[in-house]
């Protein structure tokens, strides 16, 4: 099994920045897609950013131009850089992963989930 542990969440003022980290451990795999899912009340979960083991990235949707995904394979860690944060970005962010280098925007397509980290943006 693979364990995903998120960190970096917390309180941040609107307009500020925050970087989330997701460290993988256990039976990790060389080929993967990892992303960040943001559920919201009354809305479907959406992967707001993702990256593959080969470096292919996907960002956009409701966070277009503000969030950036990167990775460090040596550290088995994926990052989500969040800039110009808005109150609407407040959510529990989950790191998700699957053992294939293909990105999906649907959180349901990922096999492993982290425990989630709370991000709260205030004005």
3-state secondary structure of 108: helix
- Cα angle, residue 72 at apex, residues 113 and 19 outer, rounded to 5°: 65
- Residue 41 has a pLDDT of 62
pLDDT digits (tens, 9 = 90+) for 43-63: 778 899 999 999 999 987 777
pLDDT digits (tens, 9 = 90+) for 62-97: 777 899 999 998 899 999 999 999 999 999 999 999
């Amino acid at each position: 099994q693979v364990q995903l542990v998120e960190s970096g969440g917390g309180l941040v003022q609107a307009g500020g920045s925050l970087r989330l980290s997701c460290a993988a451990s256990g039976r990790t795999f060389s080929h993967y897609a990892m992303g960040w899912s943001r559920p919201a009340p009354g809305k479907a979960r959406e992967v707001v950013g993702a990256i593959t083991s080969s470096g292919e990235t996907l960002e956009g949707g409701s966070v277009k131009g503000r969030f950036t995904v990167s990775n460090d394979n040596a550290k088995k860690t994926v990052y989500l850089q969040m800039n110009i944060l808005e109150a609407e970005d407040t959510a529990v962010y989950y790191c998700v992963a699957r053992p294939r280098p293909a990105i999906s925007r649907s959180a349901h397509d990922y096999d492993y989930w982290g425990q989630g980290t709370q991000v709260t943006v205030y004005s």
